[in-house]
Amino acid sequence: MSTLQFKRSPRLAAPRPPGGEVHLEPPPEVPRVIPGNIVLKALPVVMIVASLGLLVFLFQSSQRNPLTIALGATTVLGTLGMMAGGGGKGSGVKRAEMDEDRKDYLRYLGQMRDRAREAMVDQRAALEWVHPDPQTLWSLAASRRMWERRQNDSDFLHLRVGRSSHRLATRLVPPQTGPVDELEPISTLALRRFVRAHSIVPDLPTQIALRGFAAVCLQGDLELTRGLVRAMLAQIVSFHSPDDVLVAVATAGRAKGEWEWAKWLPHVQHPTLSDGIGQLRMMAGSLAQIENWLDEELRDRQRFSRNATPAPDQPHVVIIIDDAEVTREEQIILEEGLVGVTLIDLSESIGNLASRRGLRLVVEADRMGARSTGGVEWFGRPDTLSVVEAETLARRISPYRLGSSGGQDAAEEEPLLSNPSLLELLGIPGDPMTFDVQQAWRPRPIRDRYRVPFGVGEYGQPVELDIKEAAAEGMGPHGLCIGATGSGKSEFLRTLVLGMLATHSSSTLNFVLVDFKGGATFLGLDKAPHVSAVITNLADEVTLVDRMKDALAGEMNRRQEALKNGGNFKNVWEYEKARENGADLDPLPALFIVCDEFSELLAAKPDFIDLFVAIGRLGRSLQMHMLLASQRLEEGKLRGLDSHLSYRIGLKTFSAAESRAAIGVPDAFELPSVPGGGYLKYDTSTLVRFKASYVSGPYRPAGIQAAGPAATVVRADKRPQLFVPDFVELPKEPEPEQIEAAPVAAAPQSEEAVEPSELDVIVSRLIGQGPPAHEVWLPPLKDPNSLDTLLPNLNPTDDRGLSPVGFFGNGRLQVPLGIIDRPYEQRRDPLWADFSGAAGHGVIVGGPQSGKSTMLRTLIMSMALTHTPEEAQFYCLDLGGGTLAGLADLPHVGGVAVARREPDKARRIVAELTTLLTEREGRFGAMGIDSMTEFRNRKRRGEIRADQDPFGDAFLIVDNWRALRDDFEELETTITRLATQGLSYGVHVIIAANRWADIRPAIKDMIGTRFELRLGDPTESDIDRRVAVNIPAGRPGRGLTREKLHMLGGLPRIDGSSDPETIAAGWRTRWRRSRVRGGAGRRRRCGCCRR
């Protein structure tokens, strides 16, 4: 069968349905009757009686003056006239006014009736245009309206099923009135009848959204249900193209003849499979066969959900089931159904899928209803279409196939349906793998700087975002992006950032990319030289939010200092202009901060809004730009930030209210459920609709095709074939001619190779092309440093053994123990322990498994590497886990007592240090030594021989102070005395405890060097309770310095490894290879150890 290409035109505008509200006026009120004064009512009667009496008197008097008689008669007549006139005025006039009010109100209702009828006509015309009678659909074949609905249209797969009564689109709002008995009754009755008669519009088309159901089950007489399904199918094939909707029919037996006409429909032809007479007709006797044919179309689809977003490149599949074989083991009817698949069942063979995820319609001759657990709710009269009418329509449509406007030129006809290429929008020629990066990064005019297209508008024009401030003809510097789940928000952010990366060098623009949740939004962008930081997974480690706050605040301070030190520039624009004119200044690129899920960030840390507001206020001068993105918008949390947001981007939102809050109108809520569509608002009146580019799709090299076998040429049978719905086997042919295909390039791929996306390819081209961005965010403290990284140039020497050559702290009691994190200064410093002065005693406090013993070992090892055994000796009381015993082989360690097993040894160690203290008191006095510093200098010069004092600085190490207090109570007093007097004579005390409360003030006050690791109860912190809460649990070595900075203790190993499980092996091997020599190796044992 020959086919014709149908070029789908842009959709005609449908008649606009009426809307709004009409507030009706209240009917008139009945005038109230006010009772009169009885004196006033009686006065006329008294006057008449008096006048008549006067007249009678004049007639009976002897003096009958005619003038007097006439005067009396006139008085009587005037009184009667007055009574007559006054009695009619109270009732007749009011009745006349009421009649006029009634006429006016009925005239008003007549005007409202005309207005309501006009609204009814407009409402009917609008619905009849969108949902015409199925019997008239044949006239749309090959017309401009054929296949007019696209997947992103709001009425995609909205199908008419009959007629029913609808509410008037223009709502009639009854008035607020007083009590009914005070209203004019005729007007009130007329108002009631008017509202009742015109609030409902009868006999309007009624539709269902087929996309929102996994299955539609029809119950009733088969002739009626088939007629309704034919009417629905006629609408599908008339308004939706075969590229957007596929139709399959599973039927057998007697029902098969009722559906043979469907073979003509282009929607029933399989998109790729063929048989002996052409494209395969998707009509079979079993649902399993249909599922097998559609395997490629259905393979990657998720389970059905009404909230799921259909993929724009996947057609919707409609399967009609009428008396076909259904085993109920088919994947498409198991569990919840599939996204983008709807089953229309006329034989009730798919189980309860329709009741769980679909619609059950009951069809009768003159009515139709929806069945639920509560019964049948009747709502209208069903449509029907005969077989002859359906076949007429099918034959008229059968030759047509969607032409170029639905394929590669769709962007010209419907730009909002296209998938624009980002490089084409950017005006960058060539393939993503080969485009000229330096050419794309060439200097741009000020107008084009920080301006980048990210999608296309309604007419195919590029839609750009310019993050410069309005004074520089931009839209920025700060903006907001709101998009619901499935709206394409993450993809939009990737597209925008990638467009900036591809058009600006890293010396011009840098990025801080923040994703409060998982981190997939900016996956792959961290390799670009522009990216100063990618901060992710903050939801899992909320403590990092404070660190990010410090880092961004520090970046603001760094930029302010750069402007000040560079020449007191007012803003970065002036700074960069001076640099371009030859000033010796370092580049200060603009910084674009993109924060996804900022609403959840503010929910976790509400005070973070203060930093956002500060950036909003100072960002113009410092060239720090923000784009805050989230799924929802709670304006109450912005607290002044909204005044700094210059542009707003609204993708598909959850509600009209969120759309109105984001962009001022509800249009974003009404967007179709197609990812990437949205609105850009950058001033009070401009609202631009766009379709964003898609950069996460697989990369397709230009001109490269997959390699395949040799092409096969089959000589087709030219004899006419009867066009039947059933599958027709291909006729047997002689051996086909083999034509060797031209070789094509194909990159070898492993089975586990991941196909790169367009984003991955573009970023790979940027790597190494520009200077790396300044690091705003250093990686969080995670892996501890080994001592050989803290003490560089570690090599054996003749005089000091294995030591850091040239290190300033050699022999000075100043050693590094780990790393201090300084996010505000954007750097890390060594964690120093200085025992040379008043801070000569130390304490390490931390909860169980916080790394106390490891830090003690790091201290001893660091001292051993920077001091000879003559300069420093260590005597250890191990009441913890026994880890200090592993250091007993060090020449600097005079003795280790595992106190619980060796109590006497522990007491002798303390006693010997006490003896050392006592001896030095006498020796210092006898030799005129006034300080420990002088003692060290004399001994270094050889003025004090080893036989006079073989010791240097002696350190008493106590691991688990609380256990010593409990098990060796008498030693606490002795050690306290050592701490009180020892520093003057070179005796140092270093203890480790679980809690600060375990250390009595008498010794605590003597300790100047303090380290606090993670406490069991952070509220017991001696440094800062609020900061201590943020020390992560389960990270040994993490703690606080006295400056309230986070630190991480190092590992006592010198092999470069950060594995805490193999510490012993990490130092023994190299230490033994580099054994100290000569005098540097003599060990100063205490008496107990020598014995």
What pLDDT, in 10s, does the model give residues 914-971?
Answer: 999 999 999 998 899 988 989 989 988 888 887 888 899 999 999 999 999 999 999 9
* Polymer length in residues for the chain: 1091
Cβ(253)–Cβ(280) below 8 Å: no
How much helix, strand and coil, in percent to the nearest 5, is found in the chain?
40, 20, 40
Q: How confident is the model at residue 406 (pLDDT cuts 50, 70, 90)?
A: very low
Angle in degrees, 0-180, between the axes of helices 969-981 and 903-927, rounded to the nearest 10: 20
C-alpha span between 701 and 992 (Å, rounded): 63
Sign of torsion, CA 967 971 972 973? positive
Q: Which residues contact 978 (CB under 8 A, 6 or more apart)?
A: 910, 913, 914, 917, 956, 987, 989
Protein fold of 213-398: Rossmann fold (3.40.50)
C-alpha span between 316 and 303 (Å, rounded): 14
pLDDT at 1085: 55
Nearest-CA neighbor of 599 among 638, 562, 573?
638
C-alpha span between 86 and 45 (Å, rounded): 13
Cβ(496)–Cβ(455) below 8 Å: no
Q: How confident is the model at residue 747 (pLDDT cuts 50, 70, 90)?
A: very low
C-alpha span between 204 and 1079 (Å, rounded): 106
C-alpha span between 22 and 19 (Å, rounded): 9
How deeply is 769 buried, as exposed, middle or buried, from its count of CB atoms within 10 A (0-12, 13-18, 19+)? middle
Distance of CA 346 to the CA centre of its chain: 42
Q: What is the pLDDT of residues 133-190, one digit of tens each?
A: 999 999 888 788 899 999 888 899 999 999 999 999 999 998 887 787 778 888 889 9
Give the SS3 label for residue 943.
coil
How deeply is 1060 buried, as exposed, middle or buried, from its count of CB atoms within 10 A (0-12, 13-18, 19+)? middle
Nearest-CA neighbor of 363 among 204, 200, 214, 230?
230
Distance of CA 377 to the CA centre of its chain: 40
In the numeric block, the tokens 């539709």 are attached to 207
Cβ(479)–Cβ(638) below 8 Å: no
* Residue 746 scores a pLDDT above 70: no
How many degrees, rounded to 5, is the angle at CA 916 between CA 913 and CA 921? 130
Looking at residue 155, the DSSP 8-state letter turns out to be T
C-alpha span between 323 and 345 (Å, rounded): 9
561 assigned to active site: no
* Residue 794 scores a pLDDT above 90: no
Q: Which residues contact 476 (CB under 8 A, 6 or more apart)?
A: 450, 466, 467, 468, 469, 470, 625, 646, 647
- 1001, containing H or E segment: helix 1001-1004
Q: How confident is the model at residue 308 (pLDDT cuts 50, 70, 90)?
A: confident
C-alpha span between 1006 and 988 (Å, rounded): 11
Cβ(589)–Cβ(559) below 8 Å: no
* Residue 749 scores a pLDDT above 60: no
Sign of torsion, CA 131 137 139 142? positive
Mean pLDDT of 19-36: 79
For 685, phi then psi, to 5°, come to: -125, -25
Nearest-CA neighbor of 1048 among 784, 854, 778?
784
pLDDT at 98: 83
Q: What is the pLDDT of residues 819-862, one digit of tens each?
A: 999 999 999 999 999 998 889 999 999 999 999 999 999 999 99
* Annotated binding-site positions for ATP: 483-490, 846-853
Q: How confident is the model at residue 719 (pLDDT cuts 50, 70, 90)?
A: low
C-alpha span between 1055 and 1091 (Å, rounded): 34
Nearest-CA neighbor of 968 among 897, 1053, 892, 1047?
897
pLDDT at 740: 45
Q: How confident is the model at residue 806 (pLDDT cuts 50, 70, 90)?
A: confident
Q: Which residues contact 370 (CB under 8 A, 6 or more apart)?
A: 359, 360, 361, 362, 376, 377, 379
For 543, phi then psi, to 5°, come to: -60, -25
pLDDT at 93: 64
Say if domain 787-1075 classifies as CATH 3.40.50.300. Answer: yes
Paired with 678 in beta bridges are 651, 690
Structure tokens at 54: 């006067």
Q: How confident is the model at residue 1024 (pLDDT cuts 50, 70, 90)?
A: very high
Structure tokens at 554: 């520090």
* Residue 288 scores a pLDDT above 60: yes
* Residue 744 scores a pLDDT above 70: no
pLDDT at 41: 65
- Residues of each domain in the chain carrying CATH 3.40.50.300: 213-398, 419-692, 787-1075
Distance of CA 575 to the CA centre of its chain: 36
C-alpha span between 1009 and 833 (Å, rounded): 7
C-alpha span between 685 and 672 (Å, rounded): 23
Pair type for strands 842-845 and 368-372: unpaired
Structure tokens at 598: 């900022």
CATH, range 419-692:
3.40.50.300
Cβ(484)–Cβ(652) below 8 Å: yes
* Residue 1080 scores a pLDDT above 50: no
* Residue 1 scores a pLDDT above 90: no
* Residue 387 scores a pLDDT above 90: yes
Percent of the chain with pLDDT over 70: 88
Give the SS3 label for residue 844.
strand
pLDDT at 300: 80
Higher pLDDT, 140 or 233: 233
Q: What is the pLDDT of residues 521-574, one digit of tens each?
A: 899 999 999 999 999 888 778 788 989 999 999 999 999 999 999 999 999 999
Average pLDDT, the chain: 86
Q: What is the pLDDT of residues 1056-1074, one digit of tens each?
A: 888 888 877 766 655 655 5
Q: What is the pLDDT of residues 40-93, one digit of tens each?
A: 667 777 777 777 777 677 667 655 667 766 776 777 677 677 666 555 445 566
In the numeric block, the tokens 């399989």 are attached to 270
Lowest mean pLDDT among 181-185, 899-903, 1042-1046: 181-185
* Residue 734 scores a pLDDT above 60: no
Please pick, among 414, 597, 912, 1012, the residue that the annotation labels catalytic.
Answer: 597
Query: Virtual CA dihedral for 159, 162, 166, 169, nearest 10 degrees?
Result: 40
Paired with 1047 in beta bridges are 820, 1039
C-alpha span between 709 and 308 (Å, rounded): 39
Q: What is the pLDDT of residues 971-1016, one digit of tens each?
A: 999 999 999 999 999 999 999 999 999 999 999 999 999 999 999 9
